[in-house]
Amino acid sequence: MELGLVGLGKMGGNMRERIRRAGHTVIGYDRNPDLADAASLEELVSQLQGPRVVWVMVPAGAATQSTIDELGSLLSPGDVVIDGGNSRWTDDEKHAAELADKGIGFVDCGVSGGVWGLENGYALMYGGDSEHVAKAQPIFDALKPPGDLGAVHAGKVGAGHFAKMVHNGIEYAMMQAFAEGWELLEAVDSVTDVREVFRNWQEGTVIRSWLLDLAVRALDDDEHLEKLRGFAQDSGEGRWTVEAAIDHAVPLPAITASLFARFGSRQDDSPSMKMIAALRNQFGGHAVESSKK
Amino acid sequence: MELGLVGLGKMGGNMRERIRRAGHTVIGYDRNPDLADAASLEELVSQLQGPRVVWVMVPAGAATQSTIDELGSLLSPGDVVIDGGNSRWTDDEKHAAELADKGIGFVDCGVSGGVWGLENGYALMYGGDSEHVAKAQPIFDALKPPGDLGAVHAGKVGAGHFAKMVHNGIEYAMMQAFAEGWELLEAVDSVTDVREVFRNWQEGTVIRSWLLDLAVRALDDDEHLEKLRGFAQDSGEGRWTVEAAIDHAVPLPAITASLFARFGSRQDDSPSMKMIAALRNQFGGHAVESSKK
Amino acid sequence: MELGLVGLGKMGGNMRERIRRAGHTVIGYDRNPDLADAASLEELVSQLQGPRVVWVMVPAGAATQSTIDELGSLLSPGDVVIDGGNSRWTDDEKHAAELADKGIGFVDCGVSGGVWGLENGYALMYGGDSEHVAKAQPIFDALKPPGDLGAVHAGKVGAGHFAKMVHNGIEYAMMQAFAEGWELLEAVDSVTDVREVFRNWQEGTVIRSWLLDLAVRALDDDEHLEKLRGFAQDSGEGRWTVEAAIDHAVPLPAITASLFARFGSRQDDSPSMKMIAALRNQFGGHAVESSKK
Amino acid sequence: MELGLVGLGKMGGNMRERIRRAGHTVIGYDRNPDLADAASLEELVSQLQGPRVVWVMVPAGAATQSTIDELGSLLSPGDVVIDGGNSRWTDDEKHAAELADKGIGFVDCGVSGGVWGLENGYALMYGGDSEHVAKAQPIFDALKPPGDLGAVHAGKVGAGHFAKMVHNGIEYAMMQAFAEGWELLEAVDSVTDVREVFRNWQEGTVIRSWLLDLAVRALDDDEHLEKLRGFAQDSGEGRWTVEAAIDHAVPLPAITASLFARFGSRQDDSPSMKMIAALRNQFGGHAVESSKK
């Protein structure tokens, strides 16, 4: 089938390649003309035969909103827009309604796979009406990993991004689990080869997992991670997971601890710990250390 | 080779079977004569040719201590005792010293694999002097999973149990990660098939893992886990992990949150939340609920 | 001076009384005619001489919005509206802008004091332009506790509710601190009189505080809190505090733990702990307990 | 009455002064002869008339153990030793048993008050048999704050240190509560005077407390705590509180979060966050930052 693909960055570019390898036609658009197949969104739309399917793979927020707005004015009733970016699930219902007013379908799709997706396939979680999902099914089949698993129609509009968001929340806490365990093993004298412990955990243990495999790869590059700074960004989904949990009064202690650990990793000095130091000094006369600045 | 194996419960019995399948001779002893090959520890020791290797697989604490004490009086210099139970790592150095006084070697070995170990092999983490480990190596090879991974000489005496303990700490937080994510997905209306989301996460995602596979098995038995009570025991290693972290001033927020969630799951009513309710009533006149009792 | 006061519930009614005791004229309106001085908002506004000051003390959200909307159509340029309810700080800027279009000033005011405020005074944190604050100053002076402290112009519009929200977040964690300590003391045998420990902590300790005084009052009513269920509501500010922290990438582990403890207290059974139990059963054959239902 | 006092550091020296002001005779010993009244423990004991009461105020652990050992050999049946240091409660039963073998009584006493105790009095929590407590009662009365509160016989031997330990655990979480709230207020633009917010919280709020008063003092010295480094020691009691909670399966999320925040404050770089950064790089190609070293 034919697909219009908007956004040809690291993710979008690889996805185009994987879809083409499956025998489909992809017309890609990107603001960077060196990456693009069509010179404009208008040209992209004009080159597709209806009913059209256009996959949006641009940064969440303003870029996604303006792309969907423009597609809304270019596409025709019966066409379908898929938002495959990292949009917050709360945006999906709004986007679906805006497009539905023009007879255009909408599917939200969370995509997992990162730099490994081109070769291994991308895990897909999508939400929306079955008739809209059906139009995009050949593309989902091309992107997903081989076998029966890796792509799921999770529910209504928004369910795809919601499921992907929770996936990332779980990912945060799993990463934190390995990170805490690694730090503790590195802290004791009796365990003399932490990397070999991690490596051998890959078989027969309860914690065997792809993240463990990746941890071993990282330790093979740099046994004690001495080259790295303990500085971790977060990309939105972790925050949204906690916010969704608060909305539903669901306690998420491990996932939230993982998010806060990242926040802390980005502070040069901790304001709250300054206050702790100040209070200890006030009541106990405990010594304080001067600011690093 | 020949092995003496003390403790033929769920774990020990399966381990005897797996070692025998690998062609070794196992003489097992258990307090339950229906399970035992030898009628006493004394008989077990007398049936082994020196240098003997005896694997202790009994509950941590008093049972392990008394078994090691008795073996200390029965074995000869050059023999080796392996503690494969869930002993706290701090016991290992003591046990090693007691046996070393008699010329007997000691290896501590953490074993992971549960009910799946008989078929898939057991992941092993062991600590001790290389000469003692070498004497037990054929047994380690018989127990471990096929392939190059799954057994590691982690370091000095105590390192095996320490590494296994940290494995379990990581396991706690990984389980908590999936549990939190599942609860959140179940709480929202838009995601209409949480089980299918979990099932499809098994391919292509960052969180694919054996624990995820097991979660899918559990959901296939009982889609919304309605038959179960949210009640989780803990077996010691999670507590010890947090205590070890405190000893080394290592922050373990996610693992500790996972341990505390289990503690909370076993309370019929939360004393601390009674105090919160009482305080809210005191300052705000907020309504309280009467005790369930 | 004259004040219009909208909302005469538990808080609003007591505040009317305290303001009147200070010699001011209060015309109150409430949907419940038994409580009201004026029959309608329109009548309330007509009875005040300009420039008018109207204090809104109704539930946050729809009720506050509709009251402010209606006041916007009734009041005149130069009048001032104070929102003293528990509005989310993000609503304040919107309300201020809506009123500013009509030349009406807006001040947001967080109020602490609960059932004790009538006698002891209410702590006030307000935000807005100085000229608008100045018009309400006599009312703030009437409501606040005696002495130099207890009322603060915290900053711009929204700062009052933001400061009150953070106050409540701190309150959550302080309450949790006492609750955790109390639970631990009650759990050990050696401490034979926990209530007396709490009572005596009221002098000379680092933790002496009003909340401790209230805890002692609660324990005097019910030494082991046996009459209460460990069930705690949360009123919005705790959630908003965590959300604000996420917006600013500020780690709030203790406050968030306190919020999650309340969420957990309201669950009959924990879905996440069902998953933990299910996973333990899958990998280790650990026994599970049946659902209470 | 007469008291022997061993340890005349910051705490012990001030306590000698306060006891003397109450009209008692104190013979103090310290390794530092400039501080001491007696040249040796032996001399101290010889100067006291029986039945003697000797207060030990030296660092927990080895120093306390050796002092108690030496006193055990110097004192007579009917004498009483009070351990007023920060000993772990688990040491108390051992010390009591060792002294009981010689007919010497033992009382453990947790002391709160820090640098403010000389003027305001020290809060005291003590454990032991009533007959031993009675012999020390005049000293407790001299040290405690004026009024009816501030000194409590908490229970059996060990109960005093246990209660003091829990006091400090609560203190950790209360300090963390204020620290988190302060950090969040400082992070937003709308609140323009955080120090004034804190100052005014001292009256009429739910969170008014001595720690809040101290926070205001600290902010008066250094409004944004710019001179300080966010680096906080912990003194043992926080760790022991968490360990005691683990022993009793009591969840302590807020207190533990507070302890871990201090651990984190002392790390130049976080090993666990290095692992998070490494994993993000592995699966997503996310950029990493180089080590600061």
Verify whether the Cβ–Cβ distance B144 to A248 is below 8 Å.
Answer: no
Measure CB to CB from residue B175 to each of C211, C253, C279 and give the nearest one: C279
Minimal-distance CA residue of chain A relative to D254: A253
Facing A228 at nearest CB: one of D217, D230, D274: D274
CA distance A124 to chain C (A): 24
Per-residue pLDDT reduced to its tens digit, B106-137? 999 999 988 899 999 999 999 999 999 999 99
Per-residue confidence in pLDDT tens, chain D, 293 aa:
999 999 999 999 999 999 999 999 999 999 999 999 999 999 999 999 989 999 999 999 999 999 999 999 999 999 999 999 999 999 999 999 999 999 999 999 999 988 899 999 999 999 999 999 999 999 999 999 999 999 999 999 999 999 999 999 999 999 999 999 999 999 999 999 999 999 999 999 999 999 999 999 999 999 999 999 999 999 899 999 999 999 999 999 999 999 999 999 999 999 999 999 999 999 888 777 887 54
Last residue of a domain, one of C97, C122, C157: C157
- Check whether A105 has a pLDDT greater than 90: yes
Report which of C169, C58, C172, C164 is spatially closest to residue C111, judged by C-alpha positions: C164
Cβ–Cβ of C253/D257 closer than 8 Å?
yes
Name every chain A residue with its beta carbon within 8 A of the beta carbon of C249: 234, 263, 266
- Which residues in chain A have their CB less than 8 angstroms from residue D288's CB? 228-229, 231
* A170 lies in the same domain as A216: yes
CB atoms B274 and C114 under 8 Å:
no
* Residue environment code for D235-257, b if the CB has 16+ CB neighbours within 10 A, otherwise e: eebbbbbbbbbbeebbbbbbbbb
- Look up the pTM and report it: 0.96
User: Subunits that touch chain B (at least 3 Cβ pairs < 8 angstroms)?
Assistant: A, C, D
**ipTM score for this prediction:** 0.96
* A36 lies in some domain: yes
Please list the helix, strand and coil fractions of chain A in percent, rounded to the nearest 5, in that order: 50, 15, 35
Contacts of A174 in chain B (CB under 8 A): 173-174, 177, 207, 209
Q: Is residue D121 part of a domain?
A: yes
Contact between A139 and A1 under an 8 Å Cβ cutoff? The reply is yes
Q: Return the residue of A nearest to B188 by Cα.
A: A248
Asked if residue B149 belongs to a domain, the reply is yes
Query: Residues A216, A127: one domain?
Result: no
Co-location of C141 and C212 in the same domain: no
Nearest CB among B206, B253, B261 relative to D260 is that of B253
The whole-number average pLDDT for the span A95-122 is: 95
Minimal-distance CA residue of chain A relative to D262: A273
Facing residue for D253 by CB, picked from B239, B243, B257: B257
Q: Which of A90, A122, A157 is the last residue of a domain?
A: A157
Residues with Cβ within 8 Å of residue C152, at least 6 apart in sequence: C124, C125, C126, C163, D193, D196, D197, D199, D200
D272–A180 C-beta distance less than 8 A: yes
Q: Are residues C222 and C121 in the same domain?
A: no
Q: How many B/C residue pairs have CB atoms within 8 Å?
A: 212
CATH number of the domain encompassing residue C124? 3.40.50.720
Query: In the prediction, which pLDDT does B292 show?
Result: 58
Q: Does residue A126 sit in the same domain as residue A52?
A: yes
**Chain C contacts of B267, Cβ < 8 Å?**
230
How far is D212 from chain A, CA to nearest CA, in Å? 9
Distance from the Cα of B284 to chain D's closest Cα (Å) equals 10
Among A157, A188, A213, give the residue marking a domain's end. A157
Q: How far is C65 from chain D (nearest CA, A)?
A: 21
Q: How far is CA C182 from CA B243, B274, B289, C221, D167, in A?
A: 22, 10, 19, 15, 10
Instruction: Return the number of other C-beta atoms located less than 10 Å from residue B115's C-beta.
Output: 16
Q: Are the Cβ atoms of D272 and A230 closer than 8 angstroms?
A: yes
Residue type, C221: D
D274 occurs within a structural domain: no
Backbone angles phi, psi at B46, to 5 degrees: -70, -25
| Chain B / chain D CB contacts < 8 angstroms | 40
Inter-chain residue contact B150 with A192, CB threshold 8 Å:
no
**CA of A228 vs chain B CAs: smallest distance (Å):** 19
Number of folded domains in chain B? Answer: 2
Cβ-Cβ contacts under 8 Å, A269 against chain D: 229-230
B149, B194, B212, B217: which to substitute to probe chain A, counting the most A Cβ within 10 Å?
Answer: B149
pLDDT at A284: 84
pLDDT of residue D287: 76
* Direct distance between the N- and C-terminal alpha carbons of chain C, in angstroms, rounded to an integer: 60
Residues of chain C with Cβ-Cβ distance to B285 below 8 Å are 10, 114-115
A267: chain D residues, CB-CB within 8 Å = 230
Put residue B219 in one of left, alpha, beta given phi > 0 → left and psi -120 to 50 → alpha: alpha
CB contact under 8 A, B180 and A193: no
Query: Residue A127 pLDDT > 80, yes or no?
Result: yes
> Does the beta-carbon distance from A214 to D284 stay under 8 Å?
no
Is residue A292 situated within a structural domain?
no
Same-domain pairing of C7 and C142: yes
pLDDT per position as a tens digit, B37-67: 999 999 999 999 989 999 999 999 999 999 9
Q: Which residues of D touch B258 (CB under 8 A)?
A: none
pLDDT at D86: 94
Q: Which of D93, D171, D183, D292 is catalytic?
A: D171
Same domain, A213 and A153: no
* Distance of alpha carbon C126 from alpha carbon C54, whole angstroms: 15
Residue A91 lies in a domain: yes
CB–CB contact B246 D251 (8 Å): no
Contacts of D169 in chain B (CB under 8 A): none
Question: What is the predicted pLDDT for the residue at A19?
Answer: 98
| Chain C residues inside the 8 Å CB shell of A256 | 253, 256, 260
Chain C residues with CB under 8 Å of A251 CB are 260-261, 263-264, 272
| Mean pLDDT by groups of 10 residues along chain C of 293 residues | 96 97 98 97 96 97 97 98 96 98 98 91 98 98 97 98 98 98 98 98 97 98 96 94 98 98 96 96 84 62
Percentages helix, strand, coil for chain B (3-state, rounded to 5) are 50, 15, 35
D53 in a domain, yes or no? yes
Q: How far is A265 from chain C (nearest CA, A)?
A: 10
Note whether A150 and A223 are same-domain residues: no
CA distance B140 to chain A (A): 13
The CATH number assigned to the domain holding A193 equals 1.10.1040.10
- Asked if the Cβ–Cβ distance from C275 to B115 is below 8 Å, we say no
Count contacts between A and C (CB, < 8 Å).
Answer: 41
Same domain assignment for residues B36 and B81: yes
Cross-chain Cβ contact C190/D162 below 8 Å: yes
Q: Catalytic positions of B, please?
A: 164, 171
How far is the first Cα of chain D from the last one, in angstroms, to the nearest whole number?
A: 60
Query: Which of C256, C266, C286 is the best residue to mutate to test the A interface, defined by the most A CB atoms within 10 Å of its own CB?
Result: C256
**Residue B192 vs residues A177, A247, B197, B200, B239: alpha-carbon distances, Å:** 29, 18, 9, 14, 37
Predicted local confidence at residue C292, as pLDDT: 58
**Containing domain of residue D18, as a range?**
2-157
Q: Are residues A106 and A250 in the same domain?
A: no
pLDDT in tens, B69-109: 999 999 999 999 999 999 999 999 999 999 999 999 999 99
Distances (CA, A) of A26 to A47, C246, D86, D143: 10, 39, 72, 83
Is the same domain home to A14 and A139? yes
Q: Which of B171, B192, B253 sits opposite A261 (nearest CB)?
A: B253
**Buried/exposed code over D92-124 (b: 16+ C-beta within 10 A; e: otherwise):** bbebbebbeeeebbbbbbbbbbbbbbbebbbbb
Judge whether D27 and D40 are in contact, CB under 8 Å: no
User: How many angstroms separate the CA of residue A10 from the nearest CA in chain B?
Assistant: 17
D239, D251, D260 ranked by CB distance to B251: nearest: D260
Best mutation target among D195, D203, D216, D247 (most C Cβ atoms within 10 Å) is D203
Interface test with B, best of C10, C198, C207, C279 (most B CBs within 10 A): C279
Position B282 in a domain: no
Q: pLDDT of B224-279, one tens digit each? A: 999 999 999 998 999 999 999 999 999 999 999 999 999 999 999 999 999 999 99
Same domain, B169 and B119: no
